Structure 1
Amino acid sequence: MQKAKKYRPNVAAIILSSDYPLKCRFFIAHRCDIKGAWQFPQGGIDEGESPRDALLRELKEEIGTNEVEVLCECPEWIKYDFPKNMAKKIYAGFDGQIQKYFLVRLKNDSLIDIQTPVPEFDKYDFVDYERLLEQVTPFKKEVYKQILNYFKKVGYI
């Protein structure tokens, strides 16, 4: 009998630049600990914390600001499995993550600072949709397509 997979509760932010809706550019960042891994900011939900509170906390911890306007929250939770070679290295005991996605827009005076007390990223960029899907880490690409398609369907992208 196969054991049930265990997923870590998580939030993820799709951040649009402050010039949205005139331009639709997405924030992606390169992880310090995994060479070539570009992704959206994300992080675990603490015990008793709401997904929205976790989102704001994670943004402050990872990009130095939580000065964002929440445009939309995906009603579904999205699961993904860690690649076999990463599962034990990242979060022992979990097979993957189950994520609540938020689409947010940076407020006009928001300043991104990835040199946080515990940096997760060493560089970042704002990219268009095509470049985003070319640049993100391969094992997250299908999840990103799925969630971006949802936000497109509901009229935000």
Structure 2
Amino acid sequence: MTTSRPDRDAMPYRDCVGIAVFNAHGNVFLGHRKSEGDPDQSAAHGSAWQMPQGGIDKGEDPLRAALRELYEETSITSVSLLAEAPEWIYYDLPDDVLGQAFKGKYRGQRQRWFAFAFTGPDSEIDVEAPGGGKFKPEFDGWRWEKLSRAPALIVPFKRPAYEKVAEAFGDIPQRFTHV
């Protein structure tokens, strides 16, 4: 018995936010996704590194969603807005998880990306007990990385989206004076 694949073209994109957090050296935060509970199975597809991201709740302002998701995934609250990507950035799920990831409802994500300057100490970042333990950890590690290197570290099916993020925020690392 063969199972039929969902009709990708009939499925909507999930609205969400993506967050690029830059430190004082102009490097960007990357989190390493935990293998269990990985909604789009990034680890199974080649890489578990990514920037924070998450869904926009019904009626929620995207900027507010970005700040909420950042806190829920990293405990970070000490940020100032640097930029917003000029357009929605999309990615599609691979065929083998289509109809399974994101409760089988979506073909991928439509993301609104924001860039923030991190103004706190690294000790503020807590991916193991985010929000003081109020939220389920999504990452098991993190690091600072050059934005230009981020797309190569991301799971292949998200790379085109991350290339657009790197292009949209490519001038930001040069804004920082501490090199």
Question: Which residue is equivalent to 1:26?
Answer: 28
Percent identity (aligned) = 34
Whole-angstrom distance in 2 between the partners of 1:129 and 1:75: 18
Give the Å deviation of 1:47. Answer: 0.8
Question: Which residue is equivalent to 1:46?
Answer: 57
Whole-angstrom distance in 2 between the partners of 1:108 and 1:65: 8
Return 5+ residue gaps in structure 2 as ranges.
1-6, 36-40, 174-179
The answer as to 2:111 corresponding to 1:99 is: yes
Whole-angstrom distance in 1 between the partners of 2:8 and 2:165: 29
Higher strand share: 1
Question: Which residue is equivalent to 1:114?
Answer: 127
Whole-angstrom distance in 1 between the partners of 2:15 and 2:8: 22
Name the aligned partner's letter for residue 101 of structure 2: I
Name the aligned partner's letter for residue 140 of structure 1: K
Alignment of 1:47-126 (within 5 A): 47-91=58-102, 92-109=104-121, 111-115=124-128, 116=130, 117-126=135-144
Name the aligned partner's letter for residue 70 of structure 1: L
Residue by residue over 1:11-48, the C-alpha shift from the partner in whole angstroms, topping out at 9 and shown as x without a partner, is: 0001111x1xxx22111111113433111100000011
Name the aligned partner's letter for residue 129 of structure 1: L
RMSD (CA atoms): 1.9
Q: Give the conservation status (yes or no) of the 8 Å contact 2:151–2:166.
A: no
Q: 1:8 aligns with which of 14, 30, 33?
A: 14
Whole-angstrom distance in 2 between the partners of 1:129 and 1:74: 14
Question: Which residue is equivalent to 2:157?
Answer: 139
Name the aligned partner's letter for residue 60 of structure 1: Y
Return 5+ residue gaps in structure 1 as ranges.
none
Whole-angstrom distance in 1 between the partners of 2:126 and 2:9: 41
Whole-angstrom distance in 1 between the partners of 2:164 and 2:9: 27
Whole-angstrom distance in 1 between the partners of 2:99 and 2:141: 26
Residue by residue over 1:40-88, the C-alpha shift from the partner in whole angstroms, topping out at 9 and shown as x without a partner, is: 1000000111001100110110001222111001121111111112233
Whole-angstrom distance in 2 between the partners of 1:102 and 1:75: 10
Residue by residue over 1:77-124, the C-alpha shift from the partner in whole angstroms, topping out at 9 and shown as x without a partner, is: 111111112233321110011000001111134610002230000011
3-state SS, counterpart of residue 26 of structure 2: coil
